[in-house]
Amino acid sequence: MPEQKQIVGFVGYGAMASRMAQHIRDAGYEVVAYTPSAKSETASDGARLLGSPRALAEASDIVMISVPNDAALDASSYGEHGILAGMRTGGLLINTSSVSPDASRRLAKAGIDRGVAVLDAPVSGSTPEAEAGALVVLVGGEAADVERARPILDAIGKMTVHAGAAGQGSVLKLVVNGIMGASMTALAEAVGYGLVAGLDREMLLGALDGLAVISPHHKRKLKAASSGNISPQFPTALMHKDMGLLLADGAVHSVPLPTIAAATQLLALTKQHHAKDDYSSVLPVTEALAKG
């Protein structure tokens, strides 16, 4: 008889999770999912949808979480109908959500109490990288558990970085997104200044595209936003949330973050008008501010 496929269950099955799931299928696993917004028993990609996080955990060999924030993580993980209530002793829980380091550590502690290995494994990259299986996975947890999860992590990403103990993957994710968010707001302000000061738009964008000082990620965002494409590869609301998490954890450690704080304010303004659009929406918002 052929060997039965292991089942990987996703709690949260949005744009990122569904793309990661396809690579996990290609690696030889079966995928099931839970999402509170489900209106049928099957996702658009054919994944079987289960009725609660607990039911999903009971049906899965490995559980992955991909939810937007700490509140959603807590709601799906704990309680009578939560993931932990349905996981078997010795199970593996991989949390790819971008959440606070404290939330990641609490989940890891709760996992230990139930005999479940928990990794915080947020990813760096947006939907194009998820589509290509080219994410960078930033992992916190025990080294032996990281190796146990390696087939899954290798399926969804081009590189895995073991950042340290539980919660440190989330810390590294906040570092990465802080750089992304602050760099984008600085880029937006500088471009807005250049246009108001009389530089030709096409010349300016062409010059910036050829400069090494701007990352490939931000060049892609600049080109898309300047052509009017702000479709949400990484929504403004999520970037603003991550910047807020960085400021909050920075305060815990008494770390001054004045540049991050200023960038977060500009993203807050952008969120008022473009919460569901890509965070590169800060470019047209800042240009409009510069023009008065």
Q: For residue 252, what is the domain's CATH number?
A: 1.10.1040.10
Domain finish residue from 111, 130, 165 = 165
Examine the domain organization and report whether 122 and 198 are in the same domain.
no
Examine the domain organization and report whether 105 and 180 are in the same domain.
no
The CA distance from 107 to 109, in Å, is: 5
Examine the domain organization and report whether 203 and 130 are in the same domain.
no
Is 2 inside a domain boundary? no
- Per the listing, tokens 């992992």 go with 139
Count of C-beta atoms within a 10 Å radius of residue 81: 14
Structure tokens at 36: 């509170």
pTM for this model (two decimals): 0.94
The CA distance from 57 to 34, in Å, is: 10
Domain finish residue from 115, 145, 165 = 165
CATH number of the domain within which 56 lies: 3.40.50.720
Is 1 inside a domain boundary? no
Examine the domain organization and report whether 184 and 93 are in the same domain.
no
Q: Is 173 a catalytic residue?
A: yes
Examine the domain organization and report whether 236 and 96 are in the same domain.
no
pLDDT digits (tens, 9 = 90+) for 55-72: 999 999 999 999 999 999
pLDDT digits (tens, 9 = 90+) for 105-147: 999 999 999 999 999 999 999 999 999 999 999 999 999 999 9
Which position among 5, 109, 173, 223 bears the catalytic label? Answer: 173
Overall domain count for the chain: 2
Structure tokens at 50: 């289960």
Please, what sign has the CA dihedral across residues 248, 249, 251, 257?
Answer: negative
Examine the domain organization and report whether 118 and 179 are in the same domain.
no
Examine the domain organization and report whether 161 and 175 are in the same domain.
no
Q: What is the span of the domain harbouring residue 138?
A: 7-165
Is 86 inside a domain boundary? yes
Domain finish residue from 116, 138, 165 = 165
The CA distance from 134 to 126, in Å, is: 10
Examine the domain organization and report whether 176 and 65 are in the same domain.
no
Helix (H, G, I), strand (E, B) or coil at 5: coil
Examine the domain organization and report whether 148 and 259 are in the same domain.
no
Examine the domain organization and report whether 123 and 250 are in the same domain.
no
Is 188 inside a domain boundary? yes
Report the pLDDT value the prediction gives residue 2, as an integer from 0 to 100. Answer: 47
DSSP state of 7: E
Examine the domain organization and report whether 204 and 272 are in the same domain.
yes
Q: What is the pLDDT along the chain (292 residues), one digit of tens a residue?
A: 446 889 999 999 999 999 999 999 999 999 999 998 877 788 889 899 999 999 999 999 999 999 999 999 999 999 999 999 999 999 999 999 999 999 999 999 999 999 999 999 999 999 999 999 999 999 999 999 999 999 999 999 999 999 999 999 999 999 999 999 999 999 999 999 999 999 999 999 999 999 999 999 999 999 999 899 999 999 999 999 999 999 999 999 999 999 999 999 999 999 999 999 999 999 999 999 999 8
Strands 117-120 and 92-95 turn out to be: parallel
Which stretches of 53-100 are DSSP H helices?
53-59, 70-77, 83-86
Residue at 45: amino acid letter = D
Whether residue 172 contacts residue 203, with contact meaning beta carbons closer than 8 Å, is answered with no
**CA dihedral angle for residue 279, residue 285, residue 286, residue 291, rounded to 10 degrees:** 170
Is 277 inside a domain boundary? yes
